[in-house]
């Protein structure tokens, strides 16, 4: 079974804490106390000696024995990998820790109102139940084989059954198991999942509205209206088209211009010479008009 990153790290931390609790710490007892590591990290009841806020996190990495550790970590591997793939590693870590902290708070609330006696709390079970309910939330119709039941059970029914059992056991039995912490993990896990789903729906709705607005043209209509105003400000609705010519056409145009200019210059010289010889009154109407136009060009009026 290939484990996802957060599941792998959580499993390693639990195993390390187990080794420190039952193998390493007793071998190097502190001031003669072989259980100081357990007492330091287990969650003490509020108001009792040894209680500290950090224990809301450390308690979920402590376990009361090998089988306690084994079943919690086995359940984490079965359900946690799929849930982490759905939530993403970062959100899965938040979800796991918040489910565990919520489980501890619910357990302490039940202690405060007198439903259960005040005892130290250890174990990842609260967080694991949160992971189980998340798996049922995302994959309600996934089927699992549970020994000794000979047929597969849908995950939503399995988690629902466990929830009812924990409620019954929490009310009727005193077996040293934190049943209300398990229920707390389920409750807080469901609360987180519904909050995140509502946030995702709001985000999807906002995106959909923006998409629909663009699809209906409102976004582009605004841009078109602004562009129309800009064009009106410059007083032109269409730029003149540029005629693209090749090199031969340009050379021909230059040659024609120079030829016409030379011809006009020669005509002016001829008219001026005629004036010197015969006087202005002897010019024809066409010659007078040509001379007049040339005079206007020289003054820059045309």
What is the pLDDT tens value at each position of the chain, 302 positions in all? 689 999 999 999 999 999 999 888 777 676 667 788 998 999 999 988 899 999 999 999 999 899 999 999 999 999 999 999 999 999 999 999 999 999 999 999 999 998 888 889 999 999 999 999 999 999 999 998 877 778 888 999 999 999 999 999 988 877 778 999 999 999 999 999 999 999 988 877 766 666 555 555 444 344 444 445 444 444 444 444 444 445 455 455 566 666 777 777 788 888 787 777 777 667 787 877 887 777 766 655 44
* One domain, residues 125 and 255: no
pTM of the model: 0.67
Give the SS3 label for residue 287: helix
Q: Which two tokens stand for residue 122?
A: 């250890």
* One domain, residues 262 and 116: no
Residues whose CB is less than 8 angstroms from the CB of residue 170 and which lie 6 or more positions away in sequence, other chains included: 110, 115, 116, 179, 180, 182, 183
Q: Which two tokens stand for residue 167?
A: 């409620």
State the DSSP code for 239. P
Q: Residue 154: which H helix or E strand, with range?
A: strand 153-154
Per the domain annotation, does 84 fall within a domain? yes
* One domain, residues 192 and 254: no
* One domain, residues 148 and 273: no
What is d(CA 189, CA 130) in angstroms, rounded to the nearest whole number?
5
Q: Are 38 and 122 in contact (CB under 8 A)?
A: yes
What is d(CA 16, CA 44) in angstroms, rounded to the nearest whole number?
21
| Phi, psi (degrees; rounded to nearest 5) at 152 | -70, 150
* One domain, residues 22 and 166: yes
The helix, strand and coil proportions of the chain, stated in percent and rounded to the nearest 5, come to: 70, 5, 25
Per the domain annotation, does 46 fall within a domain? yes
Say if residue 148 is preceded by a cis peptide, omega within 30 of 0.
yes
CATH number of the domain encompassing residue 18: 1.20.1540.10
**Count of residues in the chain:** 302
* One domain, residues 144 and 265: no
Q: Which range marks the domain in which residue 269 is found?
A: 249-298
* One domain, residues 109 and 257: no
Q: Residue 143: which H helix or E strand, with range?
A: strand 143-144
Question: Domain count of the chain?
Answer: 2
What is d(CA 272, CA 288) in angstroms, rounded to the nearest whole number?
10
Q: Pick from 228, 203, 225, 189: which is nearest to 95 by CA? A: 189
Per the domain annotation, does 211 fall within a domain? no
What is d(CA 244, CA 43) in angstroms, rounded to the nearest whole number?
86
């Amino acid at each position: 079974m290939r484990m996802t990153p957060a599941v792998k790290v959580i499993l390693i931390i639990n195993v390390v804490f187990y080794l420190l609790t039952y193998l390493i710490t007793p071998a190097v007892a502190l001031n003669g106390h072989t259980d100081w590591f357990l007492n330091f990290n287990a969650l003490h009841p509020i108001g009792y000696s040894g209680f500290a806020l950090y224990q809301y996190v450390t308690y979920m990495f402590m376990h009361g024995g090998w089988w306690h550790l084994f079943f919690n970590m086995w359940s984490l591997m079965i359900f946690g990998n799929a849930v982490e793939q759905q939530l993403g590693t970062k959100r899965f870590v938040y979800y796991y820790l918040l489910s565990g902290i919520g489980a501890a708070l619910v357990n302490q609330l039940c202690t405060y109102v007198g439903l259960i006696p005040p005892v130290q709390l250890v174990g990842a079970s609260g967080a694991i139940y949160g992971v189980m309910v998340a798996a049922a939330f995302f994959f309600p119709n996934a089927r699992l084989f549970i020994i000794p039941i000979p047929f597969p059970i849908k995950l939503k029914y399995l988690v629902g059954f466990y929830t009812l059992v924990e409620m019954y056991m929490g009310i009727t039995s005193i077996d040293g198991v934190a049943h209300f912490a398990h229920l707390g993990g389920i409750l807080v896990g469901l609360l987180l999942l519904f909050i995140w789903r509502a946030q995702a729906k709001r985000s999807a709705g906002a995106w959909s509205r923006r998409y629909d607005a663009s699809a209906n043209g409102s976004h582009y209509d605004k841009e078109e209206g602004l562009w129309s105003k800009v064009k009106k400000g410059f007083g032109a609705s269409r730029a003149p088209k540029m005629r693209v010519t090749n090199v031969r056409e340009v050379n021909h145009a230059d040659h024609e211009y120079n030829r016409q200019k030379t011809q006009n210059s020669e005509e002016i010289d001829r008219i001026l010479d005629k004036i010197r010889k015969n006087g202005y009154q002897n010019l024809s109407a066409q010659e007078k008009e040509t001379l007049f136009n040339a005079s206007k060009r020289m003054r820059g009026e045309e």
